[in-house]
Chain A
Amino acid sequence: MDLSRLHRISDWEWRLDPEGEMRVPAVLYGDQCLIAEMDDKVLEQISNVACLPGIVDAAYTMPDAHWGYGFPIGGVAAFDPDLGGVVSAGGVGFDISCGVRNLLTGLKRQDLEPCKEALAHSLSRAIPAGVGSTGKIVLDESEMDRMLEGGADWAIGQGYGRAEDLDRIEERGCIPGARPEAVSHRARHRQREEMGTLGSGNHYLEVQEVTAITDDRVAAVFGLARGDVAVSIHCGSRGLGYQIGTEFLREMALAAPAHGITLPDLELACAPIRSDIGGRYLGAMRAGINCALANRQILTHLARREFAYFFPETSLPVLFDVSHNICKEEEHEIAGERRRLFVHRKGATRAFGANHPSLPDAFATTGQPVFIGGSMGTPSAIMVGPAERPERAFASSFHGAGRRLSRHQALKHWHGRQVVDELRGRGIIIKSPSMRGGAEEAPGAYKDSTAVVEAAHLAGLSRKVATLEPVICIKG
């Protein structure tokens, strides 16, 4: 990226003043090295976001920002309905409410070793993953409606989990305002056999070891200690979310001129929040969020069952569950005024700081856990919301380091078997139905998240707490 176009606000914050049709500045977080390495497309895309109606304050990118479609991945923007603000299907993306749930096990790495192979085998059989996989739960129309309204709460009512899990899930597992009737027949059909499935690509269920603690106080509140074993689940709303995104993206792009919206990039397809299509999309997207929360809840249940066979004393409590592809109505302070805004986070994680009223009591003194996904051979991180409020970038942080090589390039560099064998040599067991998928997801195809974690920490977006290394990875 050409740094000469940006003003350096601090070592970790860069700003592009409004130019052309931009209504607000673009603010980019990251050190000089990270910003310089970003694709020029990131600046082009976030500048386009800054042109959308009703945008407030600034359009932000996280330190891991990379070329997306419409929004950059790692992009954050908020819109005010009172100013003609929009909701963008492109700004949320296809994988509605894709996110990460982390489970504590109470086990140490040495507890795991004697049965690591068997546990990996059992998890790979129990967790439906990969192209063409189906879950054991098939929903009829009325049950689908209840799931779309109830989210993780619905799943727990069906026996997939415990009531206390809800205390540790964003929105207590069920976002209000879902409109099942706004979800098409095709979206429902696509989801019918996909409840409790992981998906493919970069989605995973990973057993991890906590290898470093950076903040002892916060780690103690989170229940993390060095050597602990945790489980991380990364997936979203599956076919239902994909189909909602597909349908509304098209409808919003075609309807934009009628709403007087000139799209700088078609993929930024959006509609006024206070319009028929905007309202229908919000209702359908929220149903998609509930679907994702129900899905991660079912996967939690499946993982617990397998762990219980090997470790009957474990209960795998939820540390937290938070999404990183989402639009949510939140209250934020802008120039000293509290305003209700529709915050889009595309590949960005909500990061509420300490004492935020929306957080569970357990995190009142620390702030919210923020999960940073690694690849199957590189570390993940657990961070926490900033110590001071108001938080930056509408209380957002990043979600992962992003790819270094495209899937196509990765296939030229690695073979799936080679990747699996190399990781096994490092003590990491990979279970994937697709060797080609293993090659495309090779750790070398991803950037190292260490520099991005450091940048987010120093920029005040979120604070470092713990580093986790993969032990078993179930991939789609």
Chain B
Amino acid sequence: MRRGAVRSMTKPTQRSPVEPRAELFPHGADVGVRGIGPTRDAAFEQAAFALTSAVTDPTRIALREVVDVTCEAPEDTYLLLDWLNALIYEMAVRRLVFGRFAVAIEGNRLRGRAWGEPVDRARQMPAVEPKGATLTALKVSVRDDGAWVAQCIVDV
């Protein structure tokens, strides 16, 4: 596992050598979240996983509740922004943390599902509350090795 990487919930596909993973990268007072995967969907799932890891250890989260979200945006970067901001909103208003994600993107529309549980401060020790996903370092791209990368800075 690379430095800064957190455990992945998405298994790699047989057709791709790219292992899905989530990373945090530093940014001043805030934090960068990065998802890497064999597909765009997987990269978005991993970016969400990284978002949770900025708050708490995702492996401490029980997958007891399910929340569905849909987003629509003119391009991939805004779709990532909307996906992360939709999760931040659901975390805030439902007082939930999420530990598993599923994403299906068709055209400019994203259907996502997040599994999690209510915030348990004693067990999860959540450090910060994400305020919003920013346009800084916002990127959705394919690397030379075929891996999809989805990332941005999150204000915390």
Residues of A within 8 A of B (CB): 39, 66-70, 73, 90, 93-95, 130-132, 134, 186, 189-190, 192, 199-202, 239, 242-243, 245-246, 249-250, 253-254, 265-267, 269, 402-403, 406-409, 416, 433-437, 439-440, 476
Contacts and interface: CB of A to CB of B under 8 A. Distances in A.
B12 interface: no
B119 to A, nearest CB: 3
B62 interface: no
B118 to A, nearest CB: 8
B151 interface: no
A190 B127 contact: no
B127 A132 contact: no
Contacts of B92: 190, 239, 242
Given A201-B156, A242-B131, A246-B133, 16 more contacts: A39-B28, A66-B28, A90-B134, A94-B131, A131-B126, A131-B128, A131-B129, A190-B89, A200-B127, A265-B136, A267-B136, A269-B135, A402-B29, A407-B26, A408-B25, A408-B26
B79 to A, nearest CB: 11
Residue from the set A66, A254, A409, A434 with the largest chain B CB neighbour count within 10 Å:
A434
Interface in B28-65: 28-31, 54-56
Interface of B: 4, 24-31, 54-56, 74, 78, 81-82, 85, 88-89, 92-93, 95, 118-119, 121, 125-129, 131-136, 138, 153, 155-156
Contact of A437 (B74, B125, B135): B125
Most A C-beta atoms less than 10 A away, residue of B31, B54, B89, B132: B132
Nearest to A411: B127
Nearest to B137: A69
Given A202-B29, A246-B85, A132 B95 contact: yes
Given A434-B125, A436-B56, A266 B138 contact: yes
A402 B26 CA distance: 14
For the complex of A and B, list the 6 residue pairs with the smallest distance between their C-beta atoms, beginning with the closest.
A132-B119, A406-B26, A131-B126, A69-B136, A266-B135, A94-B131
Given A131-B119, A409-B26, A246 B132 contact: yes
Contacts of B153: 69
A70 B56 CA distance: 27
Contact of B121 (A93, A130, A416): A130
A407 B30 CA distance: 7
A406 B31 contact: yes
Contacts of A68: 28
A267 B121 CA distance: 32
A243 B135 contact: no
B64 to A, nearest CB: 15
B129 A434 contact: no
Contact of A243 (B29, B89, B118): B89
> Which of A239, A265, A416 gathers most chain B CB within 10 Å?
A239
B93 A189 contact: yes
Nearest to B25: A408
A69 B30 contact: yes
Contacts of B28: 39, 66-68, 73, 402-403, 406
A202 B131 CA distance: 13
A403 B83 CA distance: 28
Interface centre among B4, B56, B119, B136 (most CB of A within 10 A): B136
Which of B26, B54, B89, B125 has most A Cβ within 10 Å?
B125
A431 to B, nearest CB: 13
B155 A131 contact: no
Nearest to B134: A69
B155 A407 contact: no
B133 to A, nearest CB: 8
Contacts of B95: 132, 134
Contacts of A202: 29
Contacts of B136: 69-70, 265-267
Nearest to B26: A406
A251 B16 CA distance: 36
A254 B119 contact: no
B135 A132 contact: no
Of B24, B27, B128, which is in contact with the most chain A CB atoms at under 10 Å from its CB? B128
A189 B133 CA distance: 18
B155 A434 contact: no
B89 A434 contact: no
Contacts of A249: 132, 134-135
A389 B152 CA distance: 42
A408 B33 CA distance: 11
Contacts of A90: 134-135
Nearest to A131: B126
A416 B119 CA distance: 19
A190 B131 CA distance: 11
Report which residue of A199, A269, A406, A440 has the largest number of chain B beta carbons within 10 angstroms of its beta carbon: A406
B132 A69 contact: no
A453 to B, nearest CB: 19
A437 B82 CA distance: 26
Contacts of B88: 242, 246
B27 A67 contact: yes
Given A94-B132, A476-B129, A250 B155 contact: no
Contact of A267 (B54, B55, B56, B135): B135
Given A73-B29, A131-B119, A408-B26, A250 B128 contact: no
A255 to B, nearest CB: 12
A436 B124 CA distance: 9
Contacts of A254: 74, 78
Nearest to A437: B127
B129 A94 contact: no
A265 B156 CA distance: 20
Contact of A131 (B25, B29, B30, B55): B55
